[in-house]
Structure 1
Amino acid sequence: MSDKDDLPDERRSIDEDQHDVNVEVDSFDGPIKNRQCRDVLFLILFVAFLGGMGYTSYLTFKSGPPECLKLGNIDKCKSCPFNICFPKDLNVSNILITFGISDQKMMNDLKTTWKEICYMILLTVGVVLVLCVLLRFFAGFIIWTIVIFVPLATCSVCIYAWITYNYYQQNPPDPNKDPGTFKKPKTWLTISITMTAITVIFLLIILVLRKRICLVVQLFKEAGKSLGSMPLLFLQPVWTFIIAIGCVAGLVYIFIAIDIAGDLDAADHSNADILKYLKWYHIFGSIWIFCYIVSCHEFVIASCVSMWYFCREKKSLSFPILKSIYRLIRFHLGSIALGSFLVALLKMVRLVLAIIERRLKNSAGPVAAFILKCCQCCLWCFEKLIKFINRNAYIEIAIHGFGFCKAARSAFMIIVNNALRLTAINSVGDFVLIIAKVGTVIAAGGVGYELIKNNKDINYIWLPIATICIISYLIAACFFSVYEMAIDTLFICFCEDCDMNDGISKPYFMSKDLMKYVQDSKIH
C-alpha cells in the first residue's frame, strides 16, 4: 500500500489536481488543441431562452403585425407608442422622417453632403490604419512623449491657475458689478487646488509605474506585430458590427410590436395581458443577445492573438481566425453564454433601477433618491469589474480551454499578482488609445469642415460635421477595440509565459524584446 493511499480523500484530490496542473505546465506548447465542451448547461439555457423569445414573437405576430408597423401605413403611425413610422418608399427622406428628423433643411443638408460624408469615412479608415502602423513602429516615442507631455501640461495649467488666482486676489473686481464666474478669486482658487491635486496624482503614478511603462511600450509593439501578421483580424469588428446592428434592429422592431400589442384592447389582441409581462422577458433577452455577440467577438480576437504569441514559428501559423471561430462554436459557446449572462443581468438590474428612479423623481424624498443613486453607482462599478474579469477569462479560455468559472478564477489571480503592471497598461495604454480615437475624430471633422464650409446650399453646417464625427468615432472605436483586446491578450500570455517558463530549462515563448524587458526587470 503506497503512502498516497494513506492520505485523506480531500488531500489526495488536491494533490491530484496539482499534479494535473504541473503536467499541463510541463507539456504546454501553446493553446491546447484537445478541448472539451464547457458550461453546456448555460448553452442549453441560452437556447431555451431564445426559444422563449421566439414564442413571444409568435404571440405578437400571429394575427399579423400591428397596423402602424406595416410598410406604408403612415396614417396610423399615431398609434405607435414611440411615434415611429415605417414608410413604404424607403428613400433617404423617409428614413430620416422615421428617426425623427423632419426638418426639410436638415434633410437637404444631409442629402447635399452625403458624398463628403462617404469621403470622410474612407479618410477615417486610412487615418486609423496609419495610426496602427505608427503605434507598431514608434510606440516607444509616442508613449513616452505622452507620459512626459501630460504632466507638463497639467503643471502649466496649475501654474497658470495659481497666477490668475493671485492676480484677482490682489486686484479684486468691483463689488457693485457682477464680474462673472471666471473673474472671482474663489473660482480660480478651486481650479488651482483641483489642478494641483491632478498634477500630484499624475506625477505619483508616473513615479510608481515608470519601470512598467517599458512593458506597455513592448506590448504595443507586439500587438502591432500580431495584427500585422493577421490583418484580416481588423475585419472582425466589421462583421460583429453588422451582426449586432441586424440583431438590434430586429429585436427593437419586435419590442415595438410587443409594446403596441400590449396596449391594444383584448378584442383586438387576445394575448395583450401576457405580452405586457413578456415585454420585460424580451428586453432581458435582447440585452443578453447583444452581450453574447460582443463576448464572441472578444473571444475570437483573444484566441487568434494567443495562438500567435505561443507559436514559436510565427510564419507557420495558418488560418488562426477560422480555427478560433471553430473552437468557439465547437467548445465554448456555453462559457460565452455564462459570461454574457452575468453582464446582461447587471445591465437589466441597472435598467430597472433607472426606471424606478425616473418614476419616483418627483415623489421620492432626498434620502430615497440618494440611495437609488448609490445603488446605480455601485452596480455600474460592479458591472465594469465583471466585464473586465470576463475579458480576461475569455483569454484564459482561449489559452487553456477552461470552463468559465475556472478561467475567471485563474484570470483574477493573474490580475492580483500583476496589479502594478496592469495599472500601467490600463492607465497609459488606454490613454494612448483614447488620444488615437480623439485624433481620428478631429482629423475627419476638420477635413470635413474644410470640404463643406464654402458650400452655400448647406443650412446647418454642424449637422454633417456632427454626423462625420460620430461615424468616425464608431469606426475608430471598432478598429482600436481589436488593438485593445490584442494588448490585453498579450499581457495575459506574457504573465502565463513568465509563470510557466524560466528561459533556461523551459524556453520562453515571448519575443526577444519582451525577453530583454524581463531580464532588465530582474537586474533592477
Structure 2
Amino acid sequence: MEIERTDKQFIPNATRNSVLYDLNFRGPLVKRNCTDVICLLFFFIFLIIFGFTVYFAQREGNLSKLLVARDSEGFQCGKDSEVVNSTFLFFFDLSKCADPLVPINGCPTPQKCVSECPHEAFIHDKTKCTKDIAEYKKKLICTRHVDIQSLKNCNEIDIKIQNQECAQWYLKSEPLGNRCLPTLDDIGTIIDKSEEMQKIFEALYNIELFGSLNGMRQLIVQDTINTWPVLVGGLVISAFCSLIIIAIMRWVAGPIVWLSITGVLTLLGTGLFFSYRQYDFYSKKPVDRYNLQPNLKSIINSYFIEANTWLYILIGSSIVFLVILLLVIVFRKRITIAIALIKEGSKAVSSNLTTILFPIFPWILQTIVTVVSIYSFLHLLSIGKPIYKVLGMNESCLCTGNYSSIQNGDLCDPIKLHDFCGSQSDGLKCHMSCHYTGIQPPPIAIYFKFINVIGFFWLLFFVSAFSEMVLAGTFARWYWTMKKSDVPFFNLTRSIYRTVRFHLGTLAFGSLILTICRIIRLILEYVNEKLKAYNNEFTKAVMCCCRCLCMCLENFLKFLNKNAYIMCAIHGKAFLPSAKDAFSLLMRNFLRVIALDQTTDFLFFLSKLLISLGTSACCYVYLTSEWFPKHFPHIFLHYPLAQILFIFILSYIIASIFFNVYSMAVDTLFLCFLEDCERNDGSPDRPYFMSKKLLNILRKRNK
C-alpha cells in the first residue's frame, strides 16, 4: 500500500485510484484561488465585442426594412415618398402563394401598396366590363405604371390583366400587419365563376386556413386577457404543489419510485400480450392491403393489419421488457441508494429554502440575453442594400438597352425594367416582373451576425453554469457539515460570493466548450440543408451520423460540465482538473451513476407531469363547470382548451424551475456521497458524513 505525500497530511486509502483522506478537509474550501483567469479575461474581451455588436446593430439597422410591407418595386408602404399615403400591401394573385403563410413579400405575384383594402370581391368578367366600363374601371387594381383612366375598352383591360399589370380577381379584405387578407365572405362567388377554379380554390384554402388561425389568435388573446387571474392562480398552485412534493419526498420517495417501475413493467407486459394477440389474429386472417383507399390515413393503417408489423412490435417490446427487468434485478440495491439520496436531496432543499427561488434570477438573465440577441440579430438582418431579381421572364418578353440579355434571377431595377422591357409586337404576352427578394448585407454585418450567435449561446450557457455552481456549493456545504444545524444561515449567499469571486473563469471555460459544440451542430445543420438538393444517399447517411455524434457529444459535455462545476465548488480547482476528478470518480462508480441518473430523472419527470396535469385539470373544471359560475363571476371563453394548454405549459415551466434545483441537489449529494465513501472509513478520525439511512443501506457505521 503506497502512501502519497503532499503538503497536507494524508492517511493511506484502500486503493490507489480512490480519493485519499485529507485530515484538513471540512467541505467546500473557504480559502481558495481564482481559477481559469485567462479564459475569464478572454470572456470579458468578448463581452466588449458583443456589446459593440449590439450597439452597431442598433445604430445601423432598421427594423422597418423587415417589418414594413414592401411592394414589388421595393417601396415601403406608408414610408417612402412615392407611397406615403398607401399603407397596405395588396397581392394580385394569391393562387400563386401556395403556402399558409400568404402575406410575405416573397410570394411570386405582383404586389402594390394601396390606401385601403378592397371592400368587395372582384373577378374579371368581360360581360360586366362591356355593360359599364366606367364602373368596371373603378374596381380595377393595377400597378403604378398603369393609368387606369386611359384604358379605352375591355380588350385593353384584358391585356393588362394577362400581363399581370392588373389583378384578375380579389376578395373583400381586411388589413393584418399592413397586408390585405381576405375575409372569405365571397368565396362561393369567386369559385363558381373563376376560369382557374382549381388554382384559386387551393389558394383560398390556404387563405382560409391562415384567416381562421388569425381569427383564432385574436380570440385566444382576448380569452387570455379575461382569464389572467386564473392563469396566475394556476402558477401559484403549481409552485405550491412543487414545494409540497419536494418537502414530502423524504418520506414517499421509495413507494413512488417502485410504483413507477412497476407501472412501466406492467404497461410493457400489457403491450406484449396485446401485440401477441394482434399477431396471432392477422397471421391466421391475412388482409389484402392493396384494396384500401389510396390516401395517407389508409396507407398508415395498412401497416397495422399485417402480421409482421405486430411481430416486430412484439420482439421490440420483449427486448425492452427484459432489459428493464434485468436492470431492476441487478440494480435493486443501487436503486435503494438512489431513493435514499433523493430523500437526502429533499432534506437539503428544505434546509436551504432560498435555493428554491434562486433559479428565478438566472432565468431572468437568460430572458434578457435572449431578447437582446434576437433584437440585435434582427437589426443586423436589416443592414444592407435591397435586392431585386427578375421573375417570369420567357420567350414573349422583349428587352432593349442594358436589359437586352437579362434572364430570370438576374438583378434588376424595378423602375427601369418597365422602360426597357415589354411584350413582343406579335401579340405574345410578357409576364416578367422585378421583385424584391431580400437584403444584400455588407461583409462586416456577416461577421457581426456570427459574433451575435456565439454571444447568445455563450452567455446562455454561462448563466446556466453560474446557477449550477452556486447551487452545488450550497448543497455541498450542507452535506459536508456533520451537524446540519451548523450550516451557515447565509449558505446560498456565501456560495454566490465564492463563485463570483473565484470561479467565473471556470464557468466561462465550461460554457465556451458547450458553445463551440453547439456552433458545430448549427454548421452541420446548415450543410445538411445544402446537401438535400443533391439527393445523395451516401451524404445523407454521413451527415446523419455526424449530427448524431455531435448531439451525443454535447449531451456528454453537459453532463461532464455539471459534475466539474460540483467538484470546483467543493475543492476550488480549475475546470480541467475538476472535470478529470469528477469523471474518474463517476467511472469508478459507473453502475451507481446509471441507476441514480435514470431513476431520478424518471421520478422528477413524473412529478412535473403530475403537477402540470393536476393544475390544468383544476383550472379546466373551474373554467367549464356549471357549479362555479353560481358562486364566482362567469368567464365566457371561445377556446377554453387553449387556456388550459397555456396553464399546462406554464405550470410545467414553474415545476421545472423547482425540480431543477432538486435535481442539482441530488447530483451534488451523489458526488459528495461517492467521495465520502472513498475518503472515509467510519473511524473516529475519518467518520462518514452521509446520513444514517445511507449508512444502513451500505451496511456501514461510524465507530
What range describes the TM-score normalised by the shorter chain of this pair?
Answer: 0.7 to 0.9
- Indicate the residue corresponding to 2:218 in structure 1: 104
* Contact 2:27–2:570 under 8 Å retained in 1: yes
The letter of the residue matching 2:480 is F
- Indicate the residue corresponding to 2:495 in structure 1: 324
Bigger shift: residues 454-463 or 293-302: 454-463
Q: CA deviation at 1:106?
A: 2.8
Task: Go from structure 1 to structure 2 and tell me whether the alpha carbon gap of 1:101 and 1:370 turns closer, same or farther (over 3 Å shift).
Answer: farther
Q: Which 5+ residue runs of structure 2 have no aligned equivalent?
A: 12-19, 69-75, 80-86, 90-102, 107-175, 179-212, 293-300, 388-438, 626-633
Distance 1:253 1:60 in 2: 9
2:657 to 473, 478, 488: 478
Please list the CA deviations of residues 319-350 of structure 1 after superposition, one character each: whole Å capped at 9, or x if unmatched.
11100000011000000100010011101110
Task: Go from structure 1 to structure 2 and tell me whether the alpha carbon gap of 1:175 and 1:348 turns closer, same or farther (over 3 Å shift).
Answer: closer
* Contact 1:66–1:260 under 8 Å retained in 2: yes
Distance 1:324 1:138 in 2: 30
Task: Go from structure 1 to structure 2 and tell me whether the alpha carbon gap of 1:418 and 1:466 turns closer, same or farther (over 3 Å shift).
Answer: same
- Indicate the residue corresponding to 2:326 in structure 1: 204
- Indicate the residue corresponding to 1:310 in structure 2: 480
Aligned residues: CA RMSD: 3.2
Distance 2:45 2:77 in 1: 37
Bigger shift: residues 117-126 or 427-436: 117-126
* Contact 1:39–1:334 under 8 Å retained in 2: yes
Distance 1:228 1:86 in 2: 50
Distance 1:298 1:399 in 2: 13
1:511 to 691, 698, 702: 691
Identity of aligned residues (%): 30
Matched, 1:288 2:402: no
Distance 2:240 2:303 in 1: 43
- Indicate the residue corresponding to 2:203 in structure 1: none
Task: Go from structure 1 to structure 2 and tell me whether the alpha carbon gap of 1:373 and 1:271 turns closer, same or farther (over 3 Å shift).
Answer: closer
Q: CA deviation at 1:86?
A: 11
The letter of the residue matching 2:571 is H
- Indicate the residue corresponding to 2:116 in structure 1: none
Distance 2:231 2:77 in 1: 30
- Indicate the residue corresponding to 1:30 in structure 2: 27
Structure 1 counterpart SS, 2:359: helix
- Indicate the residue corresponding to 2:640 in structure 1: 461
Q: CA deviation at 1:263?
A: 5.5
Distance 2:328 2:341 in 1: 18
* Contact 2:60–2:383 under 8 Å retained in 1: no
Please list the CA deviations of residues 275-294 of structure 1 after superposition, one character each: whole Å capped at 9, or x if unmatched.
12210111011100000000
Trace 1:46-65 onto structure 2 (pairs within 5 A).
46-62=43-59
* Contact 1:223–1:483 under 8 Å retained in 2: yes
Trace 1:82-101 onto structure 2 (pairs within 5 A).
none
Distance 2:358 2:472 in 1: 12
Task: Go from structure 1 to structure 2 and tell me whether the alpha carbon gap of 1:353 and 1:110 turns closer, same or farther (over 3 Å shift).
Answer: same
Please list the CA deviations of residues 473-513 of structure 1 after superposition, one character each: whole Å capped at 9, or x if unmatched.
11111111111111110010011111111101311111111
Distance 1:142 1:386 in 2: 30
The letter of the residue matching 2:638 is N
Give the number of the structure whose alpha-carbon radius of gyration is greater.
Answer: 2
Distance 2:649 2:385 in 1: 35
Structure 1 counterpart SS, 2:368: helix
- Indicate the residue corresponding to 2:317 in structure 1: 195
Matched, 1:335 2:506: yes
- Indicate the residue corresponding to 1:431 in structure 2: 602
Matched, 1:501 2:680: yes
Trace 1:372-383 onto structure 2 (pairs within 5 A).
372-383=543-554
The letter of the residue matching 2:665 is A
Distance 1:144 1:512 in 2: 22
1:275 to 434, 445, 449: 445
Please list the CA deviations of residues 442-478 of structure 1 after superposition, one character each: whole Å capped at 9, or x if unmatched.
1122223223336884333332122112111111111
The letter of the residue matching 2:670 is F
- Indicate the residue corresponding to 1:449 in structure 2: 620
- Indicate the residue corresponding to 2:355 in structure 1: 233
Structure 1 counterpart SS, 2:22: helix
Q: CA deviation at 1:112?
A: 3.0
* Contact 1:168–1:185 under 8 Å retained in 2: yes
Bigger shift: residues 507-516 or 60-69: 60-69
1:367 to 512, 515, 538: 538
Task: Go from structure 1 to structure 2 and tell me whether the alpha carbon gap of 1:122 and 1:42 turns closer, same or farther (over 3 Å shift).
Answer: same
Trace 1:351-362 onto structure 2 (pairs within 5 A).
351-362=522-533
Matched, 1:153 2:275: no
Distance 2:77 2:565 in 1: 47
Distance 2:272 2:331 in 1: 23
Q: CA deviation at 1:412?
A: 0.4
* Contact 1:81–1:260 under 8 Å retained in 2: no
Please list the CA deviations of residues 73-107 of structure 1 after superposition, one character each: whole Å capped at 9, or x if unmatched.
9967999999xx999xxxxxxxxxxxx96732232
Bigger shift: residues 326-335 or 243-252: 243-252
* Contact 1:287–1:344 under 8 Å retained in 2: yes
- Indicate the residue corresponding to 1:407 in structure 2: 578
Trace 1:175-190 onto structure 2 (pairs within 5 A).
177-178=291-292, 180-190=302-312
Distance 1:361 1:247 in 2: 33
Please list the CA deviations of residues 349-385 of structure 1 after superposition, one character each: whole Å capped at 9, or x if unmatched.
1011112212332234221122111111000000011
The letter of the residue matching 1:506 is R
Structure 1 counterpart SS, 2:533: coil
Task: Go from structure 1 to structure 2 and tell me whether the alpha carbon gap of 1:326 and 1:341 turns closer, same or farther (over 3 Å shift).
Answer: same
Distance 1:263 1:414 in 2: 57
* Contact 2:479–2:690 under 8 Å retained in 1: yes
Q: How many residues align?
A: 491
Give the alignment's TM-score, normalised by structure 1.
0.86
Distance 2:385 2:657 in 1: 38
